[in-house]
Every structure is written in structure tokens, then in C-alpha cells.
Structure 1
Amino acid sequence: MRFYAGFSVLCFAASVCYGHGYYKNPNTVQHGAQVVDAEFINSMRVIWKKGADLEALKPTWERYFKNIYMGIDEIEKADKVDSKAALEAAIPAIADVTTDVGHMIEVDYAKLVKDVKKKGECRYYLKMAKMNGEAKDRWVKILRPKIDEKLWASLDGKHDFEWYVKRWDHLQKEFVKMWEDCLHPTYY
């Protein structure tokens, strides 16, 4: 009885137990971006270990999209990032997403194309690449109203938000083309 009462008081005071208190993460946009980025890194690790093993990658992709959308949903629930300090905290996480998706596409998946072609699995990879584009579109749609683009542009030495959008658009086109080329009979 005493433990239960003490535990309840601790939960209330800390405001972190489910259903209690008013805990709110002030960096939800930042954390949502970190969740998305972590999934790119996790997927790269699987590719490094497994290579072009479709059976190993299928469950990775299921988790990948689930976690990416979970991060995007977290951003959707967040307040707008409109202070300089909050934006300076969020920008590195947003930048990491673009950097890591670029590495995943341009380095990790690019190494797999030849083996995927030999195994006749290009169509499945193309489907996954198109799903990645849908996730990218949702990321931009949800993130754009959550940040103050004028404030971002005013920060010294930082690419503006539009630069990251264009970079990922370019990467996404490259990703889809990689697998469309893989389907071509004379490729490799």
C-alpha cells in the first residue's frame, strides 16, 4: 500500500507515467526527425550485413516504413518550432535525415543493384523506392508548417529548408531511376 502510494506520487511528480501529468516533449519536431533518421541508419546496417538478400530486407522495410511514419506522426502532433533555440536544435536532426537518406541511396543501395538484377528482384526494390517517395512527400507536407522558414533562412551558415526538400527530391528521383534501370533487359 505504501509502495503504491509512493509510486503514484512519483509518477505524478515526474509527469511521465501514461495517463498522468502534463508531460510534453518540447523537441517533438527534433525527436520525430531523429526517429526517421534512426530508421535510415538501421536499414543501412541491415544492408551492410545482409547485402541483396530480399528475405532479410522485407521485414526491415516493414519496420522501416512503420518507424518512419511514426516519426512523421510525432512531428504532426508537435507545436510549430518558432524560436531560434528550438529551430537550431531541430535543424541538425532534419539535416541528418537528408544526409543519411542520401548515403543509403547513393552508396548502400547502389552497391546492391547488380546482385538484385541477377536475382530478378528489381521490381520489388522499385516498389519499395516508390513507397519511399510517398514517405518523403508526407515528411515534407507535415514538416513544412511546423517550422518558421523565414527564421531558418535568417540563421547564419545553414541551408534553408527548401534546399533540403530539393536535395531529397533529387535523391528520390535517383532512387526510383536506379530500380527502373535495373528492370531494363540490357542493364549490366
Structure 2
Amino acid sequence: MIDEETARERVVSTADRLFYAHGVQAVGMDTVRTESGVSLKRIYALFPSKDDLVLAVLRRRTRQWDTGVTGAVSGAGTPRDRLLAVFDFLAEWFREDTFRGCAFINFFGELGGDSNRVAEAVREQKASFQRRVAELVREAGGPGHLAPQLVLLAEGAQTTAAISGEPDAAAHARAAADTLIRCAFEGSQEAERAL
């Protein structure tokens, strides 16, 4: 018999793969059981409801997202490059064979109206990403209004790439972000000179 931590990881990784590929409502707990090799009784002992399992998947996705963004940003040189690295991270992700869009957006669209817990988890992840981009903008010495603009580009690129099936959405968003960054910094310098 596998230990609790291993069983939990098997169930969450299996549910993540299945929910992301097919949608949460299309995947029954019997399918999760069959694919994970963990009994239904044990699954329900670990996750009393399907919402609990969805939340565990979203927590896992949050860690993956944070790790991916942090890795991309830490590998960039200048503060401006760190801002653009977010879009480089998206470009790599969009090219993965398993890319199906943003799981948070997908799950929110599917369950957000029926599950306050799922909606709140998605909102928190999106707010966390906004805070991270705002932090990068501050570190670069950019104006505060730049962060939400860059976040909108990143979020829009995810949705566009998922719907169109074209990974180039990341490159287009990166080019737009580069323009916004240049304009924001030029505008800040002009404002300082005017003072």
C-alpha cells in the first residue's frame, strides 16, 4: 500500500492532467481512480469532494506557475529584460504539446459560477501574478500603471494562444510589452525633466 503523500501526489497529478486536457466536469472520479491507481475510498479520504481535488490541482498549478515565472525572471539580465522574460516563459509554455490555455481561466469558466472556493482560488492566483509583475515594474523603476497593462497582455496572450492554437501570441504580446515599457520609461523621464 502506498503512503498518504504518494497517494495524494498521484491523485493530484492525474486529476491535473485529466482536468486540464478534458475539463473538470467531463472527468469523473472513477476515471481519476482508474488512471491514478488509487482506490475511490482512499481518494475520498484524501479529498472529501471533487472541489477539494480541484483546489489541490489549482495549488499545484500555482506552484508550477510561480516556479516558471521565477525561473524565467531570474535568468534575465536587466530589470527591463526581467519584465520581458515573463513573455519568454509564456512562449515556451505555448509550444508544449499539452498546452490547452490557462488552467485557472479554464477552471473559472467551467466552475467559477458554481464554486465560490474555486473562484476565490483563481482570483488569488491572478492577484498574486499581478503583485509579482508590479514588483518587477517597481524594481525596474517603472510607473505603477505599467504593471496592469503588462498583466493584461500576458493574460490575453494565454487566451489567444489557447483559442487560436498559435503559440506566436506570446511573441506578439512580448513586442507590445516592449513598446509599453519603452513608452512608460520615456514618459517617466520626460515627467522628471518637467519637474
Query: Normalised by the size of structure 1, how large is the TM-score?
Result: 0.39
Query: Normalised by the size of structure 2, how large is the TM-score?
Result: 0.38
Larger relative contact order, structure 1 or 2 (CA cutoff 8 Å, min sep 6)? 1
